[in-house]
Structure 1
Amino acid sequence: MSISATPVADLAAAGTSVWLDDLSRDRITSGNLADLIATSGVVGVTTNPAIFASAMSTGTAYDAQIDDLKDAGADVTDAVFTMAVDDVRNACDVFAEVYTASAGVDGRVSIEVDPRLAEDPTETVAQAKALRERVGRENVMIKIPATEVCLPAITEVLGAGISVNVTLIFSVARYRQVIDAFLAGIELAKANGHDLSTIHSVASFFVSRVDSEIDRRLDDTGGAAALALKGRAGVANARLAYDAFTDLLLTGSRWRALAAAGANIQRPLWASTSVKNPEYSDTLYVTELAGPHTVNTMPENTLVATLDHGVVTGDTLTGSGTEAAEVFDALEGVDIDLADVFAVLEREGVEKFVSSWTDLLDVIGARL
């Protein structure tokens, strides 16, 4: 089967780019990443601390470099970033043709700042600039968490002409703040004299974790009305985010002025798209979230499922906001505290990445 006859091609036709949510040295050196581009239609990669923790703490792919770093007396944090930067740089090279062919829209590889900096915007900015310099490739994206205190960091890094992947977004309210930070960043980049056409950004909106947390609360609430809402919040939340994207970016006057100056729109990126509940379709967060100017970053099992049996029916985002709002009204009607849900998810999201990063530092530190 050619790429042109796959569900991934159908997603592309609907306006959704498929990125892989995984990276390892084995995946690069074995040619697997190149194969996924050639045969599966993958046009980008996202990474996070948990992905690097899994890659670097198993197998032998990093052994020689760890020995070299040990001989050089490397600090453990710098050692981990050195290995991660090398992987991201090499992955950027694998995607070079995709990057060129898409005029910089795709062919992107993301690397995240130290998750322990989620409440330190000053250090976040400094590390974002340093990572961009260390990777040294135009198609790298620096991931910055969308914690409230780091919103100014997002603006400053974009204003420095650096492409940014804003991560760990759970609520539409926070997403609206992210859009504002993005617009301010592109305005700052323009004021600083940067070529706006070279700056790209995505806003990573987490999907499955929303269902996991709300489903748990619906089970605790019990009753037919509550249980009927299980498995509906994640998609509805993402669709409400797309409504905000339409209002504030696609049709927003502030954005139109930047677009006229050559700026690229910040695309919503659907993250956490592997289904956690086996009762739900394993392509739920793919087929129900297809539409113009979007990215879906998938772990490999979700990519395989999508290619095998995903049924993409075109744009499932445009005009879906009213129905999505009805789902959220119903959730409030059964006393789901949505503000608390999103506060918990953001806090746990940061904690999980910090925990993965800390575990990785412990493993590599012991080997050093």
Structure 2
Amino acid sequence: MGAEVREIRLSTATDATAPSELDAYAALIRRLDLERLGTDELARPVPELLREFADDPYRAHVPLGAFDGGTLVGMAELEWERDDDARTAYLVMLGVAPDRRRQDIGSALLAHAERVASDAGRPTLVLSADHGAGHGTDPADGTAPSPGGVLRAPQGDATIPADDPAVRFARAHGYALGQLDRVSVLDVAGRAAEFAARLADLAAPDPYRVRTWVDRAPDDLVDSLAVAHERMSVDAPSGAIAYELEHWDADRVRDEERRSLAKGRTTLTAAAVAPDGAVAGFTVLSLLADSPAVEQWDTIVLAAHRGHRLGMRLKLENLLLLQAADASRERVYTWNADENEHMLAINLDLGFRPFALESVWQRP
């Protein structure tokens, strides 16, 4: 039986007692997260999704659904930079309800996403897929390789099983593995004293100062923070994936802050400030609403300022800020390219442990 693929309607249902399409979309994401990752504490609730998909002047967000009658049986989420020079779209999620697989619903979602991206002037499509614990080989945990053989990205040491359903799907549609990201988790509850002691043991960061804030960047840092965000979009290891430059300025930083608050998120930032008053590096923690989990977002030290252990200092400063802002939080999740040895070493030193792998695919 086929399914109709179209964009998710963001409005609430006509019948106040019936769930909206966005409710069904959020419920399917939660169901897929539980299946793939063993937890739903990273799943976004409906209010956050609504704000995510609302008008964003900098990045387009297109949620797609596959419907059998009025029932949502599959979903996909497509994004791209609105910049006129951008040519790449990112399919950050694609999934089908377990009882409706092997019915070409995933293929229909992908084909529709490819058409939407092409019509938007984004002929290059990048796919992402999650592989939970036990579904890949992370060098940090020594997981045994798959008897069906493994697939390795062009850079890095981690592998994923060649017979994994997501792997077979991507390859069958002409996509090549371009990168593997390690997803790691750090238990943080009750560790404030430990983080403070480790921070005290670090050498003084001269000539840098570290500044921290909650939700809104200081006015005197917002312009140079935008520069650092822009560098983050292309300086992070990208394997064989065509990540494109994101243009950032102070207005985009402020818009991101407003949107994050509207989603119900709390954002914690630690930044290293150089003697000239400019941001030399920063790290961001994002606290999900109604969850014990925290997402580690961007961390970067600009090239001219590396070699001073600023990455470790910034992460420790922000972990202490997290303890002060919300000591009830239990875990921090982070995503790092498998080839990013320096950042992975910092995370291992802090106590992050392997959680999952994320594969990233692009059609050659």
TM-score, normalised to structure 2, is 0.32
| Higher helix residue share | 1
TM-score, normalised to structure 1, is 0.32
| Higher strand residue share | 2
